[in-house]
Amino acid sequence: MNKDLLKALVKRVASSVLTLILLISFLFVLVRLSPGNPTQKFLSADFSPELAQRVTSSFKLDQPIAEQYFNFIVNAVTGDFGISYNYRLPVFTVVWQFLSFTLFFSFLSFFIQLFLSYGLALKAIKKTNGRLDKFLSGSSLVIYATPSFVLGVFLIFIFSAKLDLFPSAGLKSLDFDSFSLPGQIWDYFIHLILPMITLSFAGIAMFYKYLRDNLEEVYRQNFVLNLRASGFKEKTILKKHILPNAARPLISVAGIELGILLGGTLITEVIFGLPGMGRLMMDSIFSRDYPLVVGCAFTAGLLMIITNFIADLLKMKIDKRMIKGLMN
């Protein structure tokens, strides 16, 4: 068994690395195919041919394409995506500054989604096709159809423009530094409520639907009838037998949901003007800061590969059958 586990792990790592290399190659192809090249920003028609040649070779653009590709892979793996035009700092440093917020924001939202949808699904499944169940199923369909930016703008309109309860943009108030520590935390909190709702709603609806349907399906199975007939309490059946069975497929959905979340944070950050990686990417697109754009895209892809890897590890830990599944 242990050998199998090791084999599956090695295979999973290899597949992740392969995906990473494919990702880098894909970025390289995009960068090379896109019109123009980085020297244009530094070349001028007044330059002598030798100087122009020197500029080109300083970017290593006169080397054969295979060598450029190799250089690109080496640079990408070492995290060197060049210097950002706007920030005059290495891309890695800039992305790192903005990444922490995005990570914090999306993971917090992820846990809120899991927690809330779990609670709601448990409440709803108590009385299948009851009033709460029907209401939640209906509203989850509508919420699922609501684009996050529409929801965000509507929330801003209701809670910021009309009721004036929450701020409409930014992460901290202007006089943030004058607050005491609890005041500062409160300030962050109040700024993050609307973005958090915007980001989490669709995910809650999705997880809820998935969990509820899984729970219902497990409830219908014969072993539940058997347990009931054997005189187990409903609570024990739910906790010991139904929940583990219903939650297992959720992990693979959760991996995909994290990817959607990263996209969702991009839009949410733009709506609410939050200092995250998504907004950094949009800003750098509009200011034509291409090294930063590529760096952000690479980071997003890398995050997805890592989270998928972790989700698969979790699956292996929970369900031994998955090891066999991964082997094939």
Partner 1 sequence: MKIRIKHILILFWLLILIFRAEVLLNFVVLSAKYFLLFFTNFSEAFQFLDLSLIDPIVSISLFVLIPLVLIFFKKKLNFVKAEINFPVIVLLILFLAFFFTPIITNENPDFQKDLKVTKLLSPFSSVKVIHLKSEERGNNSLGESFRQYKDKIVKPSFDESLIFADEINVTRDQVIYEQKGLIKNIEISKVETEDGEPVIDEKTFFLGTDEFGRDIFTRIIYGARISLLVGTGSVFVSLIIGLAIGFVSGFRGGIIDVIFSRITDLFLAFPVIYLIILILAMFGNSLLSVIFVLGFSGWMSLFKIVKSEVISAKNKDYIVSAGLLGLTKFDILTKEILPVIIVPVLVNIIFQFSNVILAESALSYLGLGSGSSYPSWGTMIESGQQYITKAWWMIFFPGLILILTIFSVNDLGKRLNKLFNPAVR
Nearer to partner 1, 30 or 318 (CB): 30
Examine residue 73 and tell whether it contacts partner 1 (CB under 8 A): no
The residue from 35, 49, 64, 182 that contacts partner 1 (CB under 8 A) is 35
Regarding 293 and contact with partner 1 (CB under 8 A), the answer is yes
Minimum CB separation of residue 302 from partner 1 in Å reads: 10
Interface with partner 1 in residues 176-215 (CB under 8 A): 213
> If binding is defined by CB under 8 A, does position 300 make contact with partner 1?
yes
CB of 288 to partner 1, least distance (A): 9
111 near partner 1, judged by CB under 8 A: no
Closer of 150 and 318 to partner 1 (Cβ) = 150
- Residue nearer to partner 1 on the CB measure, 103 or 227: 103
Query: 22 is written with which tokens?
Result: 């494919």
Residue type, 204: I
Residue choice 104, 111, 135, 157 for contact with partner 1 (CB under 8 A): 157
Q: Using the rule CB under 8 A, is 91 a contact of partner 1?
A: no
Cα dihedral sign, 225-230-236-242: negative
- Using rule CB under 8 A, residue 290 touches partner 1: yes
- Pick from 38, 79, 82, 259 the residue near partner 1 by CB under 8 A: 259
The correct pick among 9, 15, 173, 243 for binding partner 1 (CB under 8 A) is: 15
- The number of residues that bind partner 1 (CB under 8 A) is 52
Q: Which residues contact 281 (CB under 8 A, 6 or more apart)?
A: 266, 292, 293, 296, 297
Q: Does 121 bind partner 1 (CB under 8 A)?
A: no
Exactly one of 242, 296, 316, 323 binds partner 1 (CB under 8 A); that residue is: 296
Q: How far apart are CA 96 and CA 84, in angstroms?
A: 13
Considering the rule CB under 8 A, would residue 170 count as an interface residue with partner 1? no
Nearer to partner 1, 191 or 278 (CB): 278
8 Å CB contact between 102 and 265: yes
Footprint of partner 1 (CB under 8 A)? 15, 18-19, 22-23, 26, 30-31, 33-35, 141-142, 144-150, 153-154, 156-157, 160-161, 168, 213, 256, 259-260, 262-263, 266-267, 270-271, 281-282, 285-286, 290, 293-294, 296-297, 300-301, 303-305, 308
